[in-house]
Amino acid sequence: MAVPKKKTSVSRKGLRRAGQHHKLYRKDPVGCPNCGESVLPHCVCPACGHYKGKEIIKSKAKNENQENVQA
Ligand SMILES: [Zn+2]
């Protein structure tokens, strides 16, 4: 069985976990093809509820957004 040669310091452990956090919340904002809102990849658009060209969530936010676009 492989054994770690050195103890993992608190600092190094923290850095590793922060890395996971940063990876998780890394922002590569992609413009929503429906409304142009910046959306995290693999996420439903919070503004209009669209994902992959389909409306996933029917919400009031969509209507409000459309009103904003018209105004
Ligand atoms: Zn959208």
Q: What is the pTM of this model?
A: 0.41
pLDDT score for 5: 93
Q: Which residues surround ligand 1, an ion (CB under 5 A)?
A: 32, 34-35, 37, 45, 47-48, 50
- The Å distance, Cα 26 to ligand 1 centre, comes to 19
- Ligand 1 mean position, distance from CA 68 (Å): 13
13-70 residue pLDDT tens: 988 888 777 776 666 667 788 888 888 778 888 888 888 878 888 765 545 555 555 5
Flag whether 51 is in a domain. Answer: yes
In a domain, 67, yes or no: no
Q: Could you tell me if residue 69 is inside a domain? A: no
**Separation of CA 51 and ligand 1 centre (Å):** 8
pLDDT band at 3 (very low <50, low <70, confident <90, very high): very high
Q: Which domain holds residue 48?
A: 30-62
CA atoms of 62 and 60, how far apart (whole Å): 5
Q: DSSP alpha helices (H): ranges in 1-71?
A: 10-25, 60-70
* Angle formed at CA 25 by CA 64 and CA 10, multiple of 5 degrees: 150
